Chains A and B, each alone.
Chain A
Protein backbone atom coordinates (compact mmCIF):
# COMPACT_ATOMS: atom_id res chain seq x y z
CA UNK A 1 0.00 0.00 0.00
CA UNK A 2 2.88 2.27 0.81
CA UNK A 3 4.30 1.54 -2.60
CA UNK A 4 1.03 2.62 -4.24
CA UNK A 5 1.26 5.99 -2.51
CA UNK A 6 4.90 6.32 -3.53
CA UNK A 7 3.95 5.38 -7.07
CA UNK A 8 1.57 8.31 -7.28
CA UNK A 9 4.52 10.72 -7.26
CA UNK A 10 4.84 9.82 -10.95
CA UNK A 11 1.93 11.71 -12.41
CA UNK A 12 0.15 10.54 -15.55
CA UNK A 13 0.81 13.86 -17.26
CA UNK A 14 4.54 13.54 -16.56
CA UNK A 15 4.41 10.45 -18.74
CA UNK A 16 2.54 12.33 -21.46
CA UNK A 17 5.21 15.03 -21.26
CA UNK A 18 7.82 12.40 -22.12
CA UNK A 19 5.89 11.91 -25.36
CA UNK A 20 6.53 15.50 -26.52
CA UNK A 21 8.10 15.38 -29.97
CA UNK A 22 6.76 11.92 -30.77
CA UNK A 23 3.51 10.57 -32.16
CA UNK A 24 0.49 10.24 -29.94
CA UNK A 25 -2.88 8.60 -30.55
CA UNK A 26 -5.81 10.40 -28.97
CA UNK A 27 -9.23 8.77 -28.54
CA UNK A 28 -12.05 11.27 -28.19
CA UNK A 29 -15.25 10.83 -26.19
CA UNK A 30 -17.17 10.35 -29.43
CA UNK A 31 -16.14 8.12 -32.34
CA UNK A 32 -13.23 10.32 -33.43
CA UNK A 33 -9.55 9.52 -33.10
CA UNK A 34 -6.62 11.79 -33.81
CA UNK A 35 -2.99 10.86 -34.32
CA UNK A 36 -0.31 13.54 -34.43
CA UNK A 37 3.12 14.65 -33.29
CA UNK A 38 2.77 16.16 -29.83
CA UNK A 39 4.33 19.63 -29.62
CA UNK A 40 3.02 20.64 -26.21
CA UNK A 41 0.08 20.67 -23.84
CA UNK A 42 -1.25 22.60 -20.85
CA UNK A 43 -2.94 21.87 -17.51
CA UNK A 44 -6.28 21.13 -19.22
CA UNK A 45 -4.49 18.71 -21.57
CA UNK A 46 -5.31 20.95 -24.52
CA UNK A 47 -2.73 19.70 -27.02
CA UNK A 48 -0.79 21.18 -29.92
CA UNK A 49 -0.31 18.54 -32.60
CA UNK A 50 1.51 18.69 -35.93
CA UNK A 51 0.91 16.54 -39.02
CA UNK A 52 -2.23 15.09 -37.51
CA UNK A 53 -4.66 12.64 -39.05
CA UNK A 54 -8.28 12.56 -37.94
CA UNK A 55 -10.24 9.31 -38.10
CA UNK A 56 -13.88 8.45 -37.54
CA UNK A 57 -14.65 4.89 -36.50
CA UNK A 58 -18.05 3.42 -37.30
CA UNK A 59 -18.43 -0.10 -36.02
CA UNK A 60 -15.02 -1.60 -36.72
CA UNK A 61 -14.34 0.53 -39.81
CA UNK A 62 -11.85 3.33 -39.36
CA UNK A 63 -12.01 6.11 -41.96
CA UNK A 64 -9.52 8.94 -42.38
CA UNK A 65 -11.49 12.18 -42.57
CA UNK A 66 -8.82 14.92 -42.46
CA UNK A 67 -5.10 15.70 -42.45
CA UNK A 68 -4.17 18.74 -40.38
CA UNK A 69 -0.73 20.33 -40.50
CA UNK A 70 -1.10 22.17 -37.20
CA UNK A 71 -3.86 21.94 -34.66
CA UNK A 72 -4.93 22.81 -31.15
CA UNK A 73 -7.06 20.02 -29.74
CA UNK A 74 -9.54 20.91 -27.00
CA UNK A 75 -8.79 18.84 -23.90
CA UNK A 76 -12.45 18.72 -22.84
CA UNK A 77 -13.38 16.05 -25.36
CA UNK A 78 -10.47 13.66 -24.86
CA UNK A 79 -11.24 10.20 -23.49
CA UNK A 80 -7.85 8.45 -23.67
CA UNK A 81 -4.38 8.71 -25.14
CA UNK A 82 -1.79 6.20 -26.36
CA UNK A 83 1.70 7.76 -26.28
CA UNK A 84 4.09 6.82 -29.06
CA UNK A 85 1.50 5.14 -31.24
CA UNK A 86 -0.25 5.41 -34.58
CA UNK A 87 -3.96 4.61 -34.69
CA UNK A 88 -4.71 0.93 -34.96
CA UNK A 89 -8.07 -0.20 -36.26
CA UNK A 90 -10.27 -2.81 -34.62
CA UNK A 91 -9.63 -6.31 -35.85
CA UNK A 92 -11.84 -9.35 -35.92
CA UNK A 93 -10.56 -11.77 -33.26
CA UNK A 94 -8.28 -14.49 -34.70
CA UNK A 95 -9.83 -17.94 -35.03
Chain B
Protein backbone atom coordinates (compact mmCIF):
# COMPACT_ATOMS: atom_id res chain seq x y z
CA UNK B 1 0.00 0.00 0.00
CA UNK B 2 3.02 2.28 0.38
CA UNK B 3 2.48 3.97 -2.97
CA UNK B 4 3.72 7.54 -2.48
CA UNK B 5 6.93 8.57 -0.73
CA UNK B 6 5.29 9.73 2.54
CA UNK B 7 2.57 7.10 2.86
CA UNK B 8 -1.09 8.03 2.87
CA UNK B 9 -2.38 8.76 6.34
CA UNK B 10 -6.10 8.58 6.86
CA UNK B 11 -7.75 10.27 9.84
CA UNK B 12 -7.94 6.94 11.66
CA UNK B 13 -4.17 6.38 11.16
CA UNK B 14 -3.60 9.83 12.65
CA UNK B 15 -5.79 9.08 15.64
CA UNK B 16 -4.04 5.79 16.46
CA UNK B 17 -0.71 7.54 16.19
CA UNK B 18 -1.49 10.54 18.37
CA UNK B 19 -2.83 8.84 21.53
CA UNK B 20 -0.62 9.55 24.55
CA UNK B 21 1.03 12.55 22.91
CA UNK B 22 0.85 16.26 23.71
CA UNK B 23 -1.78 17.85 21.52
CA UNK B 24 -3.47 21.15 20.85
CA UNK B 25 -7.24 20.99 20.46
CA UNK B 26 -8.77 24.03 18.77
CA UNK B 27 -12.48 24.63 19.24
CA UNK B 28 -14.79 26.46 16.86
CA UNK B 29 -15.28 29.17 19.47
CA UNK B 30 -11.57 30.05 19.42
CA UNK B 31 -10.76 28.46 22.77
CA UNK B 32 -7.72 26.16 22.76
CA UNK B 33 -7.05 23.17 25.00
CA UNK B 34 -3.52 21.87 25.50
CA UNK B 35 -2.74 18.57 27.17
CA UNK B 36 -2.03 14.88 26.77
CA UNK B 37 -4.51 12.98 24.61
CA UNK B 38 -5.86 10.05 26.63
CA UNK B 39 -8.51 8.79 24.26
CA UNK B 40 -10.60 9.71 21.26
CA UNK B 41 -13.57 8.27 19.33
CA UNK B 42 -15.16 8.54 15.89
CA UNK B 43 -17.20 11.62 16.87
CA UNK B 44 -13.92 13.36 17.77
CA UNK B 45 -14.99 13.27 21.41
CA UNK B 46 -11.76 13.65 23.37
CA UNK B 47 -10.51 12.67 26.82
CA UNK B 48 -7.49 14.68 27.88
CA UNK B 49 -5.13 14.83 30.85
CA UNK B 50 -3.17 17.78 32.24
CA UNK B 51 -5.64 19.96 30.38
CA UNK B 52 -5.01 23.69 30.12
CA UNK B 53 -7.55 26.09 28.70
CA UNK B 54 -6.16 28.99 26.65
CA UNK B 55 -8.22 31.99 25.58
CA UNK B 56 -6.85 34.85 23.47
CA UNK B 57 -3.30 33.54 23.94
CA UNK B 58 -3.57 33.45 27.75
CA UNK B 59 -3.76 30.46 30.06
CA UNK B 60 -7.21 30.84 31.59
CA UNK B 61 -7.52 27.67 33.66
CA UNK B 62 -5.98 24.33 34.52
CA UNK B 63 -8.56 21.56 34.45
CA UNK B 64 -6.70 18.27 34.91
CA UNK B 65 -8.84 15.61 33.23
CA UNK B 66 -11.41 16.73 30.72
CA UNK B 67 -13.95 15.34 28.27
CA UNK B 68 -14.48 17.50 25.20
CA UNK B 69 -17.58 16.92 23.06
CA UNK B 70 -16.47 16.30 19.48
CA UNK B 71 -18.87 18.64 17.69
CA UNK B 72 -17.01 21.64 19.12
CA UNK B 73 -13.64 20.49 17.79
CA UNK B 74 -12.18 22.35 14.84
CA UNK B 75 -8.91 20.46 14.76
CA UNK B 76 -6.45 18.37 16.75
CA UNK B 77 -2.79 19.04 16.13
CA UNK B 78 0.48 17.49 17.29
CA UNK B 79 4.15 18.03 16.64
CA UNK B 80 5.90 15.45 14.47
CA UNK B 81 7.67 12.54 16.09
CA UNK B 82 11.44 13.09 15.95
CA UNK B 83 13.79 10.33 14.84
Contact = CB atoms under 8 A, between A and B. Distances in A.
Interface of A: 20-21, 28, 30, 32, 34, 39-42, 46-48, 50, 52, 54, 66, 68-74, 76-77
Interface centre among A28, A40, A54 (most CB of B within 10 A): A40
B9 A48 contact: yes
Contacts of B74: 28, 32, 73-74, 77
Contacts of A74: 44, 70, 73-75
Contact of B12 (A42, A73, A76): A42
In terms of DSSP, what is the predominant structure of the interface of chain A? strand
Contacts of A70: 14, 18, 77-80
Contacts of A72: 11, 14-15, 18, 44, 75-77
A48 B75 contact: no
A85 B4 CA distance: 20
Q: Is the interface of B mostly helix, strand, loop or mixed?
A: mixed
Interface size class of B (residues with CB under 8 A): 20 to 34
Contacts of B58: none
Contacts of A40: 8-11, 13-14
Contacts of B8: 20, 39-40
A20 B11 contact: no
Interface in B37-75: 44, 70-71, 73-75
B80 A42 contact: no
6 contacts: A40-B11, A54-B26, A68-B75, A71-B76, A71-B77, A74-B73
Nearest to A47: B11
